[in-house]
Amino acid sequence: MTQKPNPLHSIKVDGPIPAHLARSIIEETLRSAILDGRLPCGTALRQQDLADLFGVSRMPVREALRQLEAQELLSVTTHKGAVVAPLIQGDATETYELRILLESEAMRQSVPLLTSADHALAAGYIEALETQHDYSEIGRLNRLFHMALYRKAPNQRLLRLVEDGLNEEERFLRFNLEAMGLGKLSQEDHRAMLQAVIERDVELSVKLLTQHLNRGVEVITRYLASPAGQHRKTVR
C-alpha cells in the first residue's frame, strides 16, 4: 500500500531560526504554504511535528498557530487540533456582506489620505492583473490592489479584519478562478474604483466597491451551487 505523502515535506527550512524571530517566521512560512496550496484544506498541523520541522520548541509554534487561526486560515477541531480551514467558510453571502461593511469603512477612512504615489501603486496592480495568466498570482494581485486602496485607514484593527477577508478570497480564487470564468469585468470594476478614489469621491468609491463585491458574491454563489463547485467542495 502506497503511503500518502506528508504535506509538511513541501516546506523547506533554511538553517536554524533565531529564537526572537521564530514565531513570525513559522507564521509566515505556514501562511504562504496554505495560500499557495502546499498545505491543502483539511491538513492537520500538529505542534510537535512543526516544532521538529522548524527546530524550535512548541511555544513559538503554538503562538504562530494562534495567529493563523485568528486570520481564519486554520480551524481547531476536537480530535485533529489545528486544521487548514476550508477555502470559503460558511455562507458565501454572509461572508461578503461582512466584507462590504468592513471594506466600505476602510475605504471611507483611507481615500482622503491617499497620495498620488498610492494611486500609482494601485494602478500598477491593475496593469499587472490585465496581463497576468497565472491564477495563483491573480489572487495575490487582487488582494494587493484592494489593500492599496484601504492602506491609509487609521484603524489598524479594521485593516487586519479586512485583510483576513481578502486572504480567504485569495485562497478561494487560486483554486477556482479559472472554472468561474472571471476576468475583464473585474478589471473594469477596479479601474472605475480607482478613478473615483483619485477624484477623492468617497461616496462613489464606496458605491462602486459595494457593486463590485456584490457581483463577486453572485458569481461565487452561482459557482458553488453548480456541479463543478459542488465537486470542488467535496474534493478539497
Question: Does 65 share its domain with 153?
Answer: no
CATH code of the domain covering residue 33: 1.10.10.10
User: Are residues 46 and 153 located together in one domain of the fold?
Assistant: no
Look at residues 26, 56, 84 and tell me which one is the last residue of a structural domain.
84
Same domain, 109 and 66: no
d(CA 166, CA 140): 9
Q: In the prediction, which pLDDT does 228 show?
A: 54
Specify whether 116 is located in the same domain as 40: no
Q: Measured between alpha carbons, how far is 41 from 7 in angstroms, rounded to an integer?
A: 11
C-alpha cell at 172: 478561494
97 lies in the same domain as 166: yes
Span 81-102, pLDDT tens digits? 899 887 665 566 777 888 999 9
Across 146-164, average pLDDT:
95
State whether 130 and 222 are in the same domain.
yes
> Structural domain of residue 111, as residue ranges?
92-234
Q: How many CB atoms lie within 10 A of CB 117?
A: 7
pLDDT band at 1 (very low <50, low <70, confident <90, very high): very low
Q: What's 92-144 look like in SS3?
A: HHHHHHHHHHHHHHHHHHHHHHCCHHHHHHHHHHHHHHHHCCCHHHHHHHHHH
Q: Is residue 7 part of a domain?
A: no
Same domain (yes/no): 60, 145: no
